[in-house]
Amino acid sequence: MKESKNALNIVWLKRDFRLEDHEALYQASEDEDHVLLVFCYEESIYSDAHYSDFHLDFIKQSLVEMNASLQTFETKVLSIQAEVIPFLDWCKAKFGQIKLWSSQETGLNLTFQRDIRVGQWCKTNGIEWEEFQNNGVIRGLKDRSTWSADWGKFMRRKIKPINLHNTNFLSLTQIEQFETNFKAFGTSTKPKIEVQKGGHVQAKFWLDTFLESRHEGYNRHISKPVGSRLHCSRLSPYIAWGNISIRQIYQQTVQRKKEIKDKRNLSSFMSRLRWQSHFIQKFEMEPRMEFEAHNKGFLNIGYEHNEKYIKAWKKGQTGFPLVDASIRCLMATGYVNFRMRTMISSFFSHLLFQHFAEIGPWLARNFLDFEPGIHYPQLQMQSGLTGYNTVRIYNPTKNAKDHDPEAIFIKRYVPELRNLPPNLAIEPWTLTAMESELYEFDLERDYFLPIVDMAEARKIALSKLYGHRKEPLAKKEKERILNRHTIPRRDNSWNSK
């Protein structure tokens, strides 16, 4: 055990609930002074509409697992209900000398402003705050000319082992002094069978089983609402909340690719690892995407708020079975696959022609894997507000026929349609009078009429979106966005050598 000079190293956990490949913890552990891991449940943050019990339970489960691992070292994560600055004030008064360590966070404006205030507090109080790069996101970039190469270097860099045995952690007894001055953040949760559980052990389980065999159906099932639940990696919540790093996943996947003959599924998976960082990098460089159109030429596109549409969409009562099944599944489990996410977003923004900001927070609190840096750039893209991406208006009926032809997913989450044959469960508005009598099903009584005429709504949306693309400002913004965010072609330096 190192001898302490009675100062304190505070490792502030935000979205990095792990004890491996954690640069802030590694650097703090190398210091001879005491080390304290802390999570602050900040009411000002977690009461925001973007967060829900899905997220808090996942955090709690992650903390429980971390504390189980830390028992060997007679320490734990201090988990309290407190705003960060009052907590730091108390630590400074208690210890005199403190140092703050954390991972960089590409978050909402809410957390960004919080971090600015923390930075100002540190500067005013002469406190050193060290932040470290998180996954493949790089702060301060002006364009993407070197991003792919930098991303690849970061992913291939050797992971530094953290010597927890030799870290000068505060003891459980010492941590009790903190707990008497702050309200504890309870970590008990009620298990939910359909919702993934947080923690590094769970992350490793999903990664190991995916690389062992589940990846074999990755490309075939990635768009299927049922098959994707097994054959996609399902690592997204563990990445979003930092139970495992992208680098850990990348390096283990590279090793597994060397061991198998058919590398196509894992190659596809690895490309999506990079795209994960790519979207967060976009948000890091232009965080205003949380609130308004990425392409400023679309700021006045003319959305008309329709409360009836919004409520029906949020309840899964649009009259389009695959849309409703996806919404209800999301509310129940915190997960739907990427294809269903893009479809329900496109349906809202295009066919209902509503502004993405109306559902941004709602979707966030229902996505267990809510990651601000992916969430808002994706909503922008699926809404057609970039001015350069192809406008994709997903047809929910075609998608149901292509990806849920037996209506297994639809019937699971829209039980009103359970007694209909697959073709009618997908298109219940096509029932004839005879079929309605045969199946004892009335569309208006037992389900919902389609909320819009899909063909007409699609025509209107395309006219408005492509019409705006011709505007001078939209064209100018398109060039600005492409110059700033486009990754150079033929840049394969991110890939494994």
How far apart (Å, rounded) are the C-alpha atoms in residues 489 and 325? 38
Same domain, residue pair 73 and 41 = yes
- Asked which of 134, 157, 191 is the last residue of a domain, the reply is 134
- The pLDDT tens digits of the residues spanning 268-284 come to 999 999 999 999 999 99
pLDDT of residue 331 exceeding 80, the answer is yes
pLDDT of residue 90 exceeding 50, the answer is yes
- Give the model's pLDDT for residue 159: 97
Same domain, residue pair 120 and 228 = no
- Give the model's pLDDT for residue 491: 53
- Give the model's pLDDT for residue 494: 47
Alpha-helix runs per DSSP H in 96-242: 109-125, 147-156, 172-179, 200-212, 218-221, 228-231, 236-240
Would residue 209 count as lying in a domain? Answer: yes
Mean pLDDT value of segment 54-77: 98
How far apart (Å, rounded) are the C-alpha atoms in residues 216 and 231? 7
- Give the model's pLDDT for residue 486: 86
- The pLDDT tens digits of the residues spanning 23-42 come to 999 999 999 999 999 999 99
Pair 33, 8: CB distance under 8 Å: yes
Average pLDDT taken over every residue of the chain: 95
Would residue 142 count as lying in a domain? Answer: no
309 is in an annotated binding site: no
Would residue 492 count as lying in a domain? Answer: no
Same domain, residue pair 250 and 351 = no
Same domain, residue pair 311 and 280 = no
Same domain, residue pair 302 and 255 = no
Same domain, residue pair 251 and 321 = no
- The pLDDT tens digits of the residues spanning 457-490 come to 999 999 999 998 999 999 999 999 999 998 876 5
Mean pLDDT value of segment 211-224: 97
Same domain, residue pair 130 and 273 = no
Same domain, residue pair 265 and 375 = no
Same domain, residue pair 247 and 354 = no
Same domain, residue pair 392 and 442 = yes
Helix axes 372-383, 264-285, angle to 10 degrees: 90
Same domain, residue pair 206 and 266 = yes
pLDDT of residue 493 exceeding 60, the answer is no
Mean pLDDT value of segment 397-418: 98
Would residue 230 count as lying in a domain? Answer: yes
Q: Check which CATH number belongs to the domain holding 406 and give it.
A: 1.10.579.10
At 329, the pLDDT band (50, 70, 90 cuts) reads: very high
pLDDT of residue 495 exceeding 80, the answer is no
Mean pLDDT value of segment 162-176: 96
pLDDT of residue 406 exceeding 90, the answer is yes
Would residue 413 count as lying in a domain? Answer: yes
Q: Check which CATH number belongs to the domain holding 103 and give it.
A: 3.40.50.620
Interior CA angle at 349 toward 282 and 342, to 5°?
60
Mean pLDDT value of segment 128-154: 93
Range of the domain at 50: 8-134
Which is more confident, 493 or 134? 134
- Give the model's pLDDT for residue 2: 45
- Give the model's pLDDT for residue 389: 83
Would residue 405 count as lying in a domain? Answer: yes
State how far the alpha carbon of 373 is from the alpha carbons of 312, 356, 377, in Å.
Answer: 27, 15, 7
Reference 478, options 391, 393, 385; nearest CA is 385
- pTM assigned to the model: 0.95
Same domain, residue pair 39 and 13 = yes
At 427, the pLDDT band (50, 70, 90 cuts) reads: very high
H/E segment holding residue 70: helix 53-70
- Give the model's pLDDT for residue 67: 98
269 is in an annotated binding site: yes
Q: How many domains does the chain have?
A: 3
- Give the model's pLDDT for residue 5: 53
pLDDT of residue 496 exceeding 80, the answer is no
| CB atoms near residue 406 (< 10 Å) | 13
